[in-house]
């Protein structure tokens, strides 16, 4: 069995401990936090949803993240290689294949939305948002933009090229360097935006909506949404974090890395709520706007506030950065599979798979225009791909990973790996209980919710 870190010529290692934490945080923090979290919170009643989400993060997200980190560092391999190494000749390797497939699918549509963020950066910089004086006008622009074939393809292409460009430069030189700069910038930008939002007239209404839970809003479907969001936001269930942890030197403390990444990801999402809801209420809009919240409501908010021009630029740069550091991790997980399992050069893996994912993303990009009427079971291509990957492959992957470690590979083996190099795993008992029982059962219930 291949153990430890196989630091072959095509692989690499994180240079610093902080570099790994920033890169894993960069993977976790993305469109899921900045775009999706505020809009589904808005649609699901605000404060109450936030509480359920936090619960899911604590009992499912946290233990599964530690599990993925452990598998990654133990094997030093991509998801397929990792399961094959820990359970040779068994069907468990299917988890790895499902993961690589999920990464492929998620990146294909993620790049489309990432492209939208790039377009909005340009729109903001060129002052084009000054005409967005009402949410209707901004919404109309958004609608016509995402249905404009040449534009959508142009920005999808640009986003994919950026992603591939960084992953091509490898672990230390590309991904780690980029995240070292990008992640702290993101935090500073968000804090600035939050101050701007909170000092608007009428901002307190938004704070109230966001922070005071109305428990009558919590039902089965709210819990299911919160759980799915926890998986997506933390980059769990497809081996993305197995891959990132495979580049860890053995002395890394996995438990504290897990806590940092979870706190960082959750902190950014919560902060984002504090940016958006006060602003939305201050200008008298509805928090239930949906997926267009960021793209059509926020620009309107910007035009109605002092320094809105600067704020709009800052905000969309931030969104594009967050999307890019997540896309990088998806690309890396897919590339690592071809590098480790087929011995491909990094260059070849990134070019071949990047191009394939790009092509597969084209119909997703056209799903809001040219192909809007092409439906599969009543869903556009974009929605089908998103649905299969996010709602089925991720939770299934997470559940199976928990079962694999809890019941097959064994929590003792995992425990030993976590404690390699003298770190004491203080919450071992709690983690063991969560990973064996709570997480798999919770995810299983999510599944029942999807199917019935």
Catalog residues that contact ligand TRP under the rule CB under 6 A.
Answer: 27-28, 30-33, 106, 232-233, 235, 238, 240, 326, 329-330, 394
Q: From the CB of 29, what's the least distance to ligand TRP, in Å?
A: 6
Nearer to ligand TRP (CB atom), residue 104 or residue 431: 104
Q: How far is the CB of 420 from ligand TRP (least distance, A)?
A: 25
Nearest approach, Cβ of residue 56 and ligand TRP (Å): 14
Least CB distance from residue 393 to ligand TRP, whole Å?
Answer: 9
CB of 269 to ligand TRP, least distance (A): 8
Of 48 and 234, the one with the shorter C-beta distance to ligand TRP is 234
Which pair of tokens denotes residue 37? 């979290």
Half-sphere exposure of 363 (CA within 13 A, CB side): 15
Q: Of 32 and 273, which has the nearer Cβ to ligand TRP?
A: 32
State the nearest-atom distance from the C-beta of 310 to ligand TRP, in Å: 25
- To the nearest whole angstrom, how small is the minimum distance from the Cβ of residue 341 to ligand TRP? 19
Q: Write phi, then psi, for 61 (nearest 5 degrees).
A: -60, -55
Give the residue with the Cβ less far from ligand TRP, 129 or 262: 262
Residue closer to ligand TRP (CB basis): 325 or 411: 325
Name, in order, each residue with C-beta under 8 angstroms of 3's C-beta and a sequence gap of 6 or more. Answer: 74, 75, 76, 85
- CA torsion 356-360-361-367 (nearest 10°) is 170
Closer CB to ligand TRP, 203 or 230, in the complex: 230
Compare residues 365 and 397 and give the one whose CB is closer to ligand TRP. 397
Find out whether 159 and 324 touch, Cβ atoms under 8 Å.
yes
């Amino acid at each position: 069995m291949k153990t430890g870190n196989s630091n072959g010529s095509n692989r690499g290692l994180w240079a610093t401990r902080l570099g790994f934490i920033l890169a894993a945080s960069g993977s976790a923090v993305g469109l899921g936090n900045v775009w999706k979290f505020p809009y589904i919170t808005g649609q699901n009643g605000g404060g109450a949803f936030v509480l359920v989400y936090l619960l899911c993060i604590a009992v499912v997200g946290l233990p599964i993240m530690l599990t993925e980190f452990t598998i990654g560092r133990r094997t030093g391999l991509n998801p397929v290689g990792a399961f094959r190494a820990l359970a040779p000749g068994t069907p468990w390797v299917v988890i790895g294949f499902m993961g690589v497939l999920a990464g492929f699918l998620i990146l294909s549509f993620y790049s489309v939305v990432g492209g939208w963020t790039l377009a909005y950066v340009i729109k903001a910089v060129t002052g084009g948002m000054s005409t967005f004086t009402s949410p209707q006008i901004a919404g109309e622009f958004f609608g016509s933009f995402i249905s404009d074939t040449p534009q959508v393809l142009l920005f999808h292409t640009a986003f994919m090229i950026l992603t591939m460009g960084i992953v091509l430069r490898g672990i230390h030189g590309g991904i780690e360097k980029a995240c070292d700069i990008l992640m702290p910038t993101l935090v500073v930008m968000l804090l600035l935006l939050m101050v701007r939002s909170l000092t608007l007239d009428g901002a307190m209404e938004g704070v109230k909506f966001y922070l005071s839970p109305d428990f009558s809003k919590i039902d089965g479907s709210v819990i299911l949404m919160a759980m799915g969001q926890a998986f997506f936001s933390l980059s769990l269930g497809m081996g993305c974090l197995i891959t990132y942890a495979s580049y860890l030197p053995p002395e890394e403390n996995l438990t504290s890395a897990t806590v940092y990444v979870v706190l960082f990801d959750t902190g950014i999402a919560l902060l984002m709520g504090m940016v958006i809801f006060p602003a939305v209420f201050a200008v008298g809009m509805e928090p239930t706007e949906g997926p267009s919240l960021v793209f059509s409501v926020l620009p309107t908010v910007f035009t109605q506030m002092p320094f809105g021009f600067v704020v709009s630029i800052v905000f969309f740069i931030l969104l594009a950065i967050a999307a890019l550091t997540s896309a990088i991790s998806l690309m890396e997980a897919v590339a690592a599979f071809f590098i480790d399992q087929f011995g491909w050069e990094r260059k070849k893996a990134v070019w071949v798979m990047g191009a394939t994912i790009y092509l597969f993303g084209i119909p997703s990009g056209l799903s809001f225009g040219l192909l809007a009427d092409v439906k599969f079971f009543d869903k556009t291509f974009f929605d089908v791909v998103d649905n299969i990957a996010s709602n089925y492959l991720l939770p299934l992957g997470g559940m199976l990973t928990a079962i694999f470690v809890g019941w097959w590979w064994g929590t003792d083996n995992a425990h030993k790996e976590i404690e390699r190099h003298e770190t004491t795993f203080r919450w071992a008992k709690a983690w063991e209980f969560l990973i064996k029982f709570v997480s798999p059962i919770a995810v299983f219930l999510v599944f029942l919710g999807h199917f019935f």
